[in-house]
Amino acid sequence: MKSIANTKLNDGVNTPLYPRNQLKSRIVHLGFGAFHRAHQGLFTDEVAKKSDSDWGICEVNLFGGEDLIKSLREQDHLYSVAEKGATSTEIKVIGAVTESLHPNLDGIQAVIEKMAEPQVAIVSMTITEKGYCADPATGLLDKHNPLVIADLENPTTPKTALGYIVQALKVRRERGLPPFTVMSCDNVQENGHVAKAAILEFARLLDSELGSWIEANVTFPCTMVDRIVPAATPETLTEITELLGVEDPCGIACEPFRQWVIEDNFVASRPNWDVAGAEFVADVVPYEEMKLRMLNGSHSFLAYLGYLGGYAHISDTMTDPGYRKAAFDMMMQAQVPSLTMPEGTNLEAYAKLLIDRFTNPSLKHKTWQIAMDGSQKIPQRMGGSLKYHLENGSDFKWLAAGIAGWMRYVAAQDEQGNAIDVRDPMSETLKQICDQHGLNVSVVPALLSLEAIFLVSWDRILLLSMR
């Protein structure tokens, strides 16, 4: 079968010319999804292109994605990234992946053993907000989560990312091996702290001494990641085939822009990702909040209001002057006042850059896709700004509009009476509330009373909104 690995590719394809056999699986990554392929995988590939790096990645999918792993293996762990600008596209073949695993294909123990290998220095993750099994209201481990309960009862056959990481660290400790760094690359505010809190509590529930060892020896750097990477569609894969000259079921398309800010807090060694444009800093939090509130917050704002307005893609909303202005005003009036940035940061320029990125017609980023898992996203993307405005008595009408859009969206029926496929970890709870109230204003206080999403009382929000 023809694949990237054994076919002459089209002229102009950027390929890995470095000796791939010098790469070692020094990173185990959980979550071989679209974003990771277009971001961390690409950064690591560029480090190998620009330096004498031996950093390779072992990719692991814990839930689903077996076919993707099979396809990756069939093409010698090569895959492609199409960076699509408004007027041109650059296609790159990524060679940083050295091997891949899946518990359904290789067994649970194979994954744990790989993470326990001495050369592994980093276990990284793109597992989405819900993968951390944390209670959004407290930031602590959700001990009522059925998967957490199952892992605590059967720690040697884990189902969660937390369970795999803790079990692998336990094995390394027993074998006298040093620990690895746990690095989150998810769009979660202070993602390293969230991972640390959940993993430490999980470990302590299993074995207090193990928990203490992890706390004393493992580091959990925070990261800020930024790149718009829509989910792959049949149209995307067809275009990648035309660009490459061969099919690539693992291919992904994204925008040209990319950013990665990393807290330089690694217990073992790390790749020189700064060679590829990453930035190592002492404190990631200001950059995280800037990105989560301005980019992700306005993305969610456009996703709910845009979907309800009949727009299938974010770029479609930008063709409407009203949506375009509303997104910019939401950033500048609602989000910017809540941020504290390093001196010299130009937030207005950043907002204009985001509008340009949203406008890119080459990216078909579905409003429905961004609207998924809203109960997990709203606290991160709008909650901090909402808290700021409530405490300062300032105007938060754009945040209120975004939250109102989410409330209307989770009613699961659009303005034309068509059903909306609402995907959310709290979908049953949301459905019960919306079914009880229907399309009536009485649903507002009922939804605002969900403490897992809103940490402020609904009556205070309503009172201040009427000022």
For the stretch 118-171, pLDDT in tens is 999 999 999 998 899 988 667 789 999 999 999 999 999 999 999 999 999 999
Q: Give Dmax over CA atoms of the chain in angstroms.
A: 67
Mean predicted confidence (pLDDT) in 183-203: 94
The secondary structure of 98-144 as a DSSP string is: EEEE-HHHH-HHHHHHHHTSTT--EEEE---GGGG-B-TTTSSB-TT
CATH of segment(s) 20-281: 3.40.50.720
Give the count of beta carbons closer than 10 Å to the beta carbon of residue 146. Answer: 10
The secondary structure of 24-43 as a DSSP string is: EEEEEEE---HHHHHTHHHH
pLDDT confidence bin for 454, thresholds 50/70/90:
confident
pLDDT over 90 percentage in the chain: 87
pLDDT over 70 percentage in the chain: 97
pLDDT confidence bin for 296, thresholds 50/70/90:
very high
Residue 458, pLDDT score: 43
Instruction: Flag whether pLDDT at 208 surpasses 90.
Output: yes
Mean predicted confidence (pLDDT) in 47-71: 97
156 pairs with which residues across the strands?
none
- Per-position b or e across 186-210, b if 16+ CB within 10 A of its CB: bbbbbbbbbbbbbbbbbbbbbeeeb
In CATH terms, the fold of domain 285-465 is N-(1-d-carboxylethyl)-l-norvaline Dehydrogenase; domain 2 (1.10.1040)
pLDDT confidence bin for 380, thresholds 50/70/90:
confident
Mean pLDDT, the chain, as a whole number?
94
Residue 416, pLDDT score: 85
Stretch(es) of the chain classified as CATH 3.40.50.720: 20-281
Calpha distance 313→315 (Å, rounded):
5
The angle, 0 to 180 degrees and rounded to 10, between the axes of the packed helices 208-217 and 191-206 is 150
Query: pLDDT tens-digit profile of 386-429?
Result: 999 999 999 999 999 999 999 999 999 988 889 999 999 999 99
Calpha distance 278→289 (Å, rounded):
18
DSSP-derived 3-state class of residue 431: helix
The beta-carbon contacts of 427-433 under 8 Å, at least 24 apart in sequence, are 430/375
Residue 457, pLDDT score: 43
Calpha distance 107→110 (Å, rounded):
6
Instruction: Flag whether pLDDT at 460 surpasses 50.
Output: no
Mean predicted confidence (pLDDT) in 102-123: 98
Give the count of beta carbons closer than 10 Å to the beta carbon of residue 33. Answer: 20
Give which of 132, 58, 20, 40 is closest to 376, Cα–Cα.
132
Quick check: 444 and 407 in contact, CB under 8 A?
yes
Stretch(es) of the chain classified as CATH 1.10.1040.10: 285-465
Length of the chain: 467
Residue 74, pLDDT score: 96
Mean predicted confidence (pLDDT) in 362-386: 92
Residue 411, pLDDT score: 95
Residue 455, pLDDT score: 65
Residue 1, pLDDT score: 60
Query: pLDDT tens-digit profile of 263-295?
Result: 999 999 999 999 999 999 999 999 989 999 999
Quick check: 156 and 170 in contact, CB under 8 A?
no
